[in-house]
A and B are shown apart, each in its own frame.
Chain A
Amino acid sequence: MIVADHLTVQLGDRTALRDVSFRVEQGNFLAVLGPNGGGKSTLLKSILGLIPPTSGSLSLGTGNSRRQSIKIGYVPQIKSLDRSFPARSVELVATSVLGRWPHRLSKTDRDVSMAALERVGAAHLAQQSIGSLSGGELQRVYLARATISEPQILLLDEPESGIDVAGTADLYTLLEHFHTEANTCIVMVTHDWDVAFYHATHVLLLNNQQLCFGKPETALTDVAIRNTFGHVGHKHDTLAIGAPFPTGHRHD
């Protein structure tokens, strides 16, 4: 579904991604982990087609299917959005069908948008203004927007940031649904190691270059994590429940 082959992305004079290669299929759930500025969001933008590869390649779909025919749903980082924009939630969802901002919603567009909001348990937010939503609620609306056209690929950028624990737990339940029932390929940038370990089928560790790619139990080794974050001398035991590496002192 997504194949990166020696993907290198240069942003100005900075190499955001160097020689990244991985492959995920339909129904896979890829967690992308790494430090801030490690190229995680750049990878998402490359998949979205917003940033072209400098060298190497990034192909979507299978065989000869063209990039344009692959439907991608995208949930951006909520904290980076302009909450002062005057809009109702249902309008934001409808942009996915229309490809532009709606002036007035036709009945068909409204029905489709409402159905998408219902699927993620956010129908009650439809008429609320974007500015009045909590981070978790706005993210739910974006998830409705991203999944409205049943995308083959669903991208999420740090969905846990700015959202309480209960909210994230609900979100991961929804993602499980898309992952198992709709067979969507999910790519999620996250700082949440537990989620990577328990929900993802694959893990990619990035620190501008690819440090590790594989199943969570093999990729999330102590050494790989230390290489990613450059930590020396203490270990992350929050992952240690059933994890293959020894426990150290708690890192807060």
Chain B
Amino acid sequence: MTPWQLEHPFLPVTVMTDWIQNAFMIRALVSGVLVGALASYYGAFIVQRRLSFLGSGLAHAAFGGIALALLLQQDPLLIAIPFTIIVAIAINWIRSETILAADTAIGIFFAVAVALGVIFLSIRKGTTYDAFSYLFGSILAISMTDLWIIILIFAIGILTLPRLWGNWAFATFDEESARADNHSVGRDDYALYVLLAVTIVAAIKMVGILLIAAFLVIPAATARLLSPTFFWMTVVSVCLGILSAFTGLIGSYELDLPSGATIVLCQAIFFGLALLVSRWRSAPQ
């Protein structure tokens, strides 16, 4: 390795020879890219529906599920997924069936799930270190089982895309007209909340509870600044989600930084650039 390459750790030559040999890094990259793509796809709807708080709320709900799994000595993902799905369904039910707004419902379940998590952890004997490792996530944490679960969730996202994208987009813009034209708006909303819950839980191990909301919000917000139509907003958001997951994971590996935080910073750099581009575009020529 020449000194010149040492000074440029992102160069493909040095990178390729290194991380490609690590099985955990391959798992992290595949799952990071898939989760980044999915989260930023759902993120386009979340941002336009002004539900940015939902990602954070569901991630904290997952904490309750993970704590329950640790108490019962089960695989965290297998308990956290149904737990978070139930919370997501409850939030959507309150939002659509009562006079309370979505952010109120999220605020309630956010707190209740964390409270349950804390109680589960206090009942359990021993250290709570393993539970708190989920707060920040780790690149080393992705097992083969996790990867398969992520691939399955990604496949569901792809399979439902042709039917649900157009329905969700229409209801995002004008729910009333969408309801008048198409009778599945209520059902589709539940599908969005459930798929979102599953995606968030799958991403937590790598990204961490505290940062997963960024995966939903930042790429989609960036895409909104650059896109004239919702179709392009979705495409750009997914591309940014993939790109920032990839560069963030490589960066985190090379610089020995936490993976979730590095990915979020990559997303933020793209957001900053998009902000500059959109200001420059709208400035008088």
Contact = CB atoms under 8 A, between A and B. Distances in A.
Contacts of B48: 82, 84-86
Contacts of A84: 48
B247 interface: no
Contacts of A129: 228
A234 to B, nearest CB: 36
Task: State the majority secondary structure of interface residues on A.
Answer: loop
Nearest to B167: A100
B177 A74 contact: yes
A76 interface: yes
A137 B228 CA distance: 18
Interface in A67-110: 72, 74, 76, 81-82, 84-88, 91-92, 95-96, 98-104
A81 B230 CA distance: 16
Interface residues of A, number: 27
Q: Is the interface of B mostly helix, strand, loop or mixed?
A: helix
B231 A85 contact: no
A104 B174 CA distance: 19
A87 B229 contact: yes
- Classify chain B's interface size: 20 to 34
B177 A95 contact: yes
Contacts of A241: none
A88 B229 contact: yes
B10 interface: no
Nearest to B173: A85
Given A92-B173, A101-B230, 13 more contacts: A48-B176, A50-B179, A72-B180, A74-B176, A74-B177, A81-B173, A86-B48, A86-B229, A87-B230, A88-B228, A100-B167, A101-B167, A101-B168
Interface of B: 48, 99, 165-170, 172-174, 176-182, 224, 227-233
26 contacts: A48-B179, A49-B180, A50-B179, A81-B173, A85-B172, A85-B173, A86-B48, A86-B224, A86-B227, A86-B230, A86-B232, A86-B233, A87-B173, A88-B229, A95-B181, A96-B181, A99-B181, A100-B167, A100-B169, A100-B170, A101-B167, A101-B169, A101-B170, A101-B172, A101-B230, A102-B166
